[in-house]
Chains A and B, each alone.
Chain A
Amino acid sequence: MARRRRLRATLSSLAVATAFAGTAAAHSGSLRGATQESLAVPTWLFLLTGGGAVGASFLLASFVTDRRFVEQLHAWHRSLPTPGRFVTRAARLAAVGVLLSTVAFGFVAPDEQLRNLAILVVWVAWWGGFVASTYLLGNAWPALNPVRALADALPSLDRPYPERLGAWPSVAALLALVWIEVVSPLADDPRLLATVVLVYTLVTVGGAVVVGAERWFTSVDPLSRAFRYYGHVAPIQRTDDGLRLRLPGAALPETAVSGRDEVAFVVALLFVTTYDGFVATGLWATIARTVAGVGVPPTLIYLGAYLGGFVLFLGAFRWAARDARRRAESYLTPEYLARRFAPSLLAIAAGYHLAHNLGSVLLLSPTLVAVATSPLSPPLNPPQLAGLPGWFGGLELAFVLVGHLLAVWVAHATAYDAFPGRLQAVRSQYAVTLVMVLYTMTSLWIVSEPYVPPPFIAT
């Protein structure tokens, strides 16, 4: 539901000056009327324009060669008041209430997608709204996390966490959660959703009891890690001296993730959105049916494309890091460069998340309010916004593009920090930029394709 949407766009000119106009068309008939608008430009030109915009912005960023300017821009900050202990406690208590009632209403409220509070809370309020706040404002999840509140109330066995696992369990858990979301009707079936939330809560609390809450939520829990990473993009940053206001993305160049495992997590965060969209294209339907025709089980086809695609994304990014080392004539290891450049991808992931979810959040927020006021007997036809204006599709494309432009800039600032030579820094970004261009074109292709229901799976 909330995560499957197609954009239709008409492009009229190039790059940053590009004026987008288009219509976002939801595929879920119950969510939005099937407004269709054909592309006014051929698809290949549309894709090339997106890639060209990213490439051109790399060239434009490379014109900024004043080190002091780059550093001052990223060092700018203002102090913000920190909310008091009472406010944070009350917020956390409220979050626990929301979690428990979500699970409860998921089981007992009407078994209909848009009349069940669990579906609306999870997909509209939390996945759409709250997650957007982690990169648009700041990551409040450590303060709110209701599962952590439950785990903190329990004693811990404090068993040692196997250090060699690093962040890999969270990579696996993220891939597993999104896998469940793609192959099951998680956005349509309240009972199933409540079950998944319940299982997640039990597993998480159990894990936190075994290795200690701090360790579990720092290393293993995929949601805490994802929101922490998204939070690096946000303007409000938590430091030892309280909250700080910074420019969006300004914290990213100084954010080095700590190893291959964490690089893999960032790439996974980016990849899962692409996969979610890719399985709903006509090309995938053809591939899946053809491969299934020779007797391969559908689940295996989906799983193969999922893991294969992830490895491909990871491989492309590692190749870019190796190429950066070679072109910059640097002795920094490719692993180090991958760790430094990975945070720039978070800006892209944030842009995609916003583009994919903002429309549903706006359309369904009246529904959420109406159903929340009487969850057990919601209105037969809960209200929703009649529609979004035609330019909204252009706005969604703009979010995708802004994410990429921010990423290009962050890579530029990161390279300036990592290499002493300024031309070295520019050359190090050739491959990273190429990967970003290819990624933009892939994503734009996916959003410009008409929605085709993924074959063999029930959604």
Chain B
Amino acid sequence: MTRTDVDTDVPADAEAHVCSYCGRPFAREKYLVLHRGLAHPDDVSDGERDAYERAYAEEQADIDRFRIVALGVLVVIYFGFLFAYAVFAA
């Protein structure tokens, strides 16, 4: 899709991890590793593919943590409204 055809702007003092296939810069190496696997699946070397799969799996752990927080917020929203309606919408 449009993962390589993008407009980027790297701050002067920031470090950039640049994709060797399309030149798109990333703030962290893990983003570059993920990008290579997603945007250039047919070009990457075996090592880069392994790195991508590892990074994708590692990301899953962070996502699981996010999901627990998101679920908590949903529960708060739900019961918050439940009580609010019970009290104010008589």
- A interface residue numbers (CB < 8 A to B): 11-15, 40-42, 45, 48-49, 52, 55-56, 59-60, 62-63, 65, 67, 254, 256, 329-333, 335-336, 417-424, 426
> Is A329 in contact with B27, judged by CB distance below 8 angstroms?
yes
> Is A329 in contact with B3, judged by CB distance below 8 angstroms?
no
**A331's contact among B9, B62, B73, by CB below 8 Å, is which?**
B9
| Residues of B close to A40: CB separation below 8 A | 89
| Residues of B close to A60: CB separation below 8 A | 74
| Residues of B close to A420: CB separation below 8 A | 3, 26, 31-32, 34-35, 38-39
Q: How long is the Cα–Cα vector from A406 to B15 in the complex, in angstroms?
A: 37
Q: How long is the Cα–Cα vector from A335 to B6 in the complex, in angstroms?
A: 11
> Is B82 in contact with A333, judged by CB distance below 8 angstroms?
no
> Is A254 in contact with B2, judged by CB distance below 8 angstroms?
yes
Q: How long is the Cα–Cα vector from A419 to B77 in the complex, in angstroms?
A: 28
> Is A63 in contact with B70, judged by CB distance below 8 angstroms?
yes
| Residues of B close to A330: CB separation below 8 A | 26-27, 31
Q: How long is the Cα–Cα vector from A59 to B10 in the complex, in angstroms?
A: 30
**B7's contact among A65, A333, A419, by CB below 8 Å, is which?**
A333
> Is A13 in contact with B16, judged by CB distance below 8 angstroms?
no
- Minimum distance in angstroms from A76 CB to a CB of chain B: 15
> Is A423 in contact with B66, judged by CB distance below 8 angstroms?
yes
Given known pairs A14-B78, A56-B74, the reply for A331 and B10 (CB within 8 Å) is yes
| Residues of B close to A423: CB separation below 8 A | 59, 62-63, 66
| Residues of A close to B82: CB separation below 8 A | 14
- Minimum distance in angstroms from A128 CB to a CB of chain B: 34
Q: How long is the Cα–Cα vector from A49 to B10 in the complex, in angstroms?
A: 40
> Is B1 in contact with A417, judged by CB distance below 8 angstroms?
yes
- The closest CB in chain A to the CB of B37 belongs to A420
| Residues of A close to B9: CB separation below 8 A | 331-333
18 additional contacts, CB 8 Å, given A254-B1, A424-B31? A15-B81, A45-B89, A49-B81, A63-B67, A67-B38, A256-B2, A329-B28, A331-B10, A331-B14, A332-B7, A336-B8, A417-B3, A419-B31, A420-B3, A420-B31, A421-B31, A423-B63, A423-B66
- Minimum distance in angstroms from A322 CB to a CB of chain B: 11
| Residues of B close to A336: CB separation below 8 A | 6-8
Q: How long is the Cα–Cα vector from A336 to B9 in the complex, in angstroms?
A: 10
| Residues of B close to A52: CB separation below 8 A | 77, 81
Q: How long is the Cα–Cα vector from A329 to B32 in the complex, in angstroms?
A: 12
- The closest CB in chain A to the CB of B36 belongs to A420
Q: How long is the Cα–Cα vector from A379 to B51 in the complex, in angstroms?
A: 76
> Is B70 in contact with A14, judged by CB distance below 8 angstroms?
no
> Is B88 in contact with A59, judged by CB distance below 8 angstroms?
no
> Is B28 in contact with A41, judged by CB distance below 8 angstroms?
no
Within 8 A of A (CB), among B29-56: 30-32, 34-35, 38-39
Q: How long is the Cα–Cα vector from A256 to B3 in the complex, in angstroms?
A: 12
* Residues 76-90 of chain B, each 1 if its beta carbon lies under 8 Å from chain A, else 0: 011001101100110
> Is B8 in contact with A333, judged by CB distance below 8 angstroms?
yes
| Residues of B close to A418: CB separation below 8 A | 2-3, 6
| Residues of B close to A426: CB separation below 8 A | 66
| Residues of B close to A335: CB separation below 8 A | 7
Q: How long is the Cα–Cα vector from A331 to B88 in the complex, in angstroms?
A: 46
- The closest CB in chain A to the CB of B33 belongs to A420
- The closest CB in chain A to the CB of B19 belongs to A420
> Is A59 in contact with B85, judged by CB distance below 8 angstroms?
no
Q: How long is the Cα–Cα vector from A228 to B15 in the complex, in angstroms?
A: 41
| Residues of A close to B73: CB separation below 8 A | 59
- 19 inter-chain pairs at a CB distance below 8 angstroms, sorted by A residue, are A13-B81, A14-B77, A15-B77, A41-B85, A45-B84, A49-B81, A56-B78, A59-B74, A63-B67, A67-B38, A329-B28, A329-B31, A332-B8, A332-B9, A417-B1, A418-B2, A419-B31, A420-B32, A420-B38
Q: How long is the Cα–Cα vector from A420 to B19 in the complex, in angstroms?
A: 12
- Minimum distance in angstroms from B55 CB to a CB of chain A: 9
Q: How long is the Cα–Cα vector from A336 to B67 in the complex, in angstroms?
A: 28
Q: How long is the Cα–Cα vector from A74 to B28 in the complex, in angstroms?
A: 28
| Residues of A close to B27: CB separation below 8 A | 329-331
Q: How long is the Cα–Cα vector from A424 to B10 in the complex, in angstroms?
A: 17
**A55's contact among B31, B35, B39, B77, by CB below 8 Å, is which?**
B77
| Residues of A close to B1: CB separation below 8 A | 254, 417
Given known pairs A331-B16, A332-B6, the reply for A422 and B59 (CB within 8 Å) is yes
| Residues of B close to A14: CB separation below 8 A | 77-78, 81-82, 85
**A56's contact among B26, B34, B77, by CB below 8 Å, is which?**
B77
Q: How long is the Cα–Cα vector from A73 to B8 in the complex, in angstroms?
A: 28
- The closest CB in chain A to the CB of B67 belongs to A63
- The closest CB in chain A to the CB of B62 belongs to A423
**A13's contact among B6, B30, B74, B85, by CB below 8 Å, is which?**
B85
Given known pairs A40-B89, A45-B88, A417-B2, the reply for A59 and B70 (CB within 8 Å) is yes
| Residues of B close to A65: CB separation below 8 A | 63
> Is A331 in contact with B26, judged by CB distance below 8 angstroms?
yes
Q: How long is the Cα–Cα vector from A60 to B3 in the complex, in angstroms?
A: 25
- The closest CB in chain A to the CB of B89 belongs to A41
